[in-house]
Every structure is written in C-alpha cells, then in structure tokens.
Amino acid sequence: MPFLKIKPRSPGDNKIVEKEIVLDEIKLHKYKFSKKPYPSDKSQILIITNFSEFGCESLALMYCIPKILQMYPNSYVICVGWYGREYLYRHLADEYWELPEDCQWLREYSHAFHHTSKNLAKLEKSLLSHGVVYKSENMGYLCVARVCNDCKHYWGEEDDLPHCAKCNSISISDGFLFNIPFFKKFAIKVPRPSRDHIKLAQKYLKPNSVGIFARSRKAYGRNLRPEFYVSLIKLLEDKGYNPIWIGEKQSVMPCPVSHITDFSRMAESKDLELTLAIISQLEFTIQFWTASTRLASMVDTPWILFESPDQIVGRGQEGRRIALTTDSDKRKLVLSNFHTVVENEDKALEIVDKSIEEMKQKNWDDVIGLVDNIDVVKIMLEKQKMWR
C-alpha cells in the first residue's frame, strides 16, 4: 500500500503551503559601502546571509552579526538579505547584496532564524564560491543555545547544565536570550535617520500622526480583516489622530480607506531610512501579531502591540526579543489570543481605546486583554519579571 504524501500546512491557519516555484537564478543587487579593496583570497571574505523574519533579522543586526565579526576579525564582510534593507547594514558590512524586489515572495518561506526555501538554499550554496558563508540559521544558535567554548558543542535552554555534556568543560557561553540584562549593554544600534531624511519625512505627515502596520503574511496566518482596520482608523480619527499606513507591501495589506496615506505602496517606501524618519515623528505605532515594533524601537517611538501571552511570557521567544531590542519603556503590550480577537473585534477596539488613554496618562503597564484564562496569564507575567 503506497504512503500518502502529506502536504505541509501553515502552523498559524492550517492552510496548505503552496509549492515553491523553482527559479533558474537569482540576480543580486550589490551595494558597496567601504573603500576597502575586494580580497583575492576567498578565505578573507566573510558572507553573512540574513533571510530571517524581521523580528529575528533585527536581533541579528544588533547582536549576532557584531558577534560574528568578532569571530572573523579583519574579514571583508558581505551581508546578503532581503530587498530594501541596505540601510540596516551600512554600519556593519563592506557590501550588501539584496534580493530583487520580484523575489520578495520568498519571505513567505522565512521563519525565525531559518527558512524553508529551496531557492534560498541554492543561493546560499552558490555563495560558497565567493567566500566563507555564515548562514542565518546559524545565527539562531547565538541567541538560543549555550555553547562550549572548548569543543563547540551546543545545547538548548531546557538543559541547564553547569558543564558541557560532551567534554565536561565549564567554559560555557550563554545565548543572547539567556542573559538579557548582560548582553543588552553590548547592543549595536542601527544609525538614526539623517536630518535630510527627517525633513523629507514631514512631506508625508500630518499633525498627530499614528502609524498602522496591518499584517498580511501567509505564514502563520494571524491576519485581521480589512473591516477591522476600517473601524480602527475611525477610532483613531475620532480621537484626533491622523493615521498613516506603513510597512512593506509584501507583508502588509493595502489600506482599505482611500483618504489615508498608504506609504507602503509608494515607491519611496523602499528607502528604509525614510521609513524610519517617518516613524520617528509619529505619536505611536500600532500593530497586531507582528514584529514591526522593531522599527519603532529603532527610533524610540512608542508602540502598541497585540500579541499572544505564550509569545510574550510563555514558550515563545518574542517577549525576550522585544526586551533585547527595545530600550524605551514607552510601549504598550496587550496580551490577547488571535482567535479571541477575531471573534470579538468590538471588544478588541475597546481595548485599543483603553490602551491609548493609558499611554496618554504615562501608564505603560501591560494589558491583559482577550485571553482564555486571566489568572494563568497573571502567573506567567509574574514569573517573567526577571528579564522583562
């Protein structure tokens, strides 16, 4: 009896993951930042790929890549990643090689620090002909694994051993997520936008502007209806705010309200420095089950995030990632389950209203919103105070 091949499904909405189209080649666009000559010896060229989701890509920028540069001193550094990201790598690399815009659909195959794309795997293999390749999936180990400094064996958080299980060495390095207060002191931040970009950003802004990121990725689901955002825009406008729609068009839905500026669909949105300049002048940003808070954190703009309790204070890692990448305490976390918000959109909007009013009163405490068991979430929050 033949076995039936089970088609992969998204863990978020359980929809079948579409089969990836195989590309003949991917032509990278190259940016050169430094005046250093290109080495003739390939062993002196370090190529770092970063095909992560943005939440982890930002961790790579602030912690992983600086650590890798220490591991490979004096190398000619080339970072390879997504379209429109070169601004994030100017201060870290000698060059940045970006995927073309028409390959942005490959982001649907990106996850935390890894991807499931055959095209990206083929690309990473081809880069071996140019130099030493450090893949994005290996950066995950720097965050979530303990590493023996002697034999290089690594293990996860669940094995809290005082020594290496392989060689018994006590010379052990913790992953960044294990010791947040310590590692946060060494974060390398993305440079602030220039004055010229700050001035240019004013062209797209009105008084009391608020940024909306409306997640629309296939991976994991967790996308709210356009109708929800119509109601959200009305709520914000009734409170005297002027919303602006921001994000990458590949991962956010088109704005459903015609009079709102949809910066995500403008050609200028490719300029990430301009995007950050816009965000730096907003009252706050608001988002639901997405890591776009990282952009606001880069320029110290307050934000509101609806996220599941498990991701913030449970087995998920998003709470720890936020702690590593956000300096300002001016942030509002609303702990809510996606499926509960979908079933209670009016109640969710009431919580948004409540959160905004608390922010105006300088109350930055977390909000326990639409969850299955409030008491359990309170216990989870109490246990995680040590790193939050």
Q: What is the CATH number of the domain that holds 354?
A: 3.40.50.2000
pLDDT at 388 over 60: no
Residue at which a domain ends, from 144, 159, 178: 144
Q: Are residues 108 and 209 in the same domain?
A: no
Q: Are residues 332 and 253 in the same domain?
A: yes
In a domain? residue 57:
yes
In a domain? residue 11:
no
Rounded distance, CA 299 to CA 277, Å? 8
**Of 197, 77, 212, 211, residue with least CA distance to 131:** 77
Q: Are residues 255 and 350 in the same domain?
A: yes
- Token pair recorded at residue 101: 């815009």
User: Residue 208's pLDDT is what?
Assistant: 97
Q: Are residues 288 and 209 in the same domain?
A: yes
Q: Region 189-200: what's the mean pLDDT?
A: 96
Look at the chain and report how many structural domains it folds into.
Answer: 2
User: Residue 112's pLDDT is what?
Assistant: 85
Q: Are residues 275 and 378 in the same domain?
A: yes
Banded model confidence at residue 225, pLDDT cuts 50, 70, 90? very high
User: How big is the CA angle at 127 (ends 124 and 132), to the nearest 5 degrees?
Assistant: 105
User: Residue 193's pLDDT is what?
Assistant: 97
What is the per-residue pLDDT across 3-45, written as a single tens digit (0 to 9) for each? 556 666 655 555 666 788 999 999 999 999 999 999 999 999 9
Per the CB < 8 A criterion, the answer to whether 217 and 251 are in contact is yes
In a domain? residue 5:
no
Residue at which a domain ends, from 102, 126, 144: 144
User: Residue 17's pLDDT is what?
Assistant: 64
Domain that holds residue 68: 29-144
In a domain? residue 153:
no
Q: Does pTM surpass 0.95?
A: no
Q: Are residues 216 and 100 in the same domain?
A: no
Q: Work out whether strand 172-173 and strand 146-148 pair parallel, antiparallel, or are unpaired.
A: antiparallel
Tell me the C-alpha to C-alpha distance, in Å, between residue 173 and each of 35, 52, 182, 307, 322.
35, 23, 12, 30, 21
Q: Supply φ then ψ for residue 303, to 5 degrees.
A: -145, 155
Q: Are residues 210 and 137 in the same domain?
A: no
User: Residue 345's pLDDT is what?
Assistant: 97
Q: Are residues 226 and 334 in the same domain?
A: yes
Residue at which a domain ends, from 126, 144, 162: 144
Q: Are residues 299 and 379 in the same domain?
A: yes
In a domain? residue 103:
yes
Q: Are residues 287 and 138 in the same domain?
A: no
Please tell me the least confidently modeled range out of 28-37, 185-194, 215-224, 345-354. 215-224
Q: Are residues 212 and 137 in the same domain?
A: no
User: Residue 178's pLDDT is what?
Assistant: 84
Element (H, E) at 230: helix 226-238
Q: Which carries the bigger pLDDT value, residue 329 or residue 49? A: 49
Per the CB < 8 A criterion, the answer to whether 294 and 55 are in contact is yes
User: Residue 329's pLDDT is what?
Assistant: 86
In a domain? residue 188:
no
In a domain? residue 199:
yes
In a domain? residue 41:
yes
Q: Are residues 118 and 234 in the same domain?
A: no
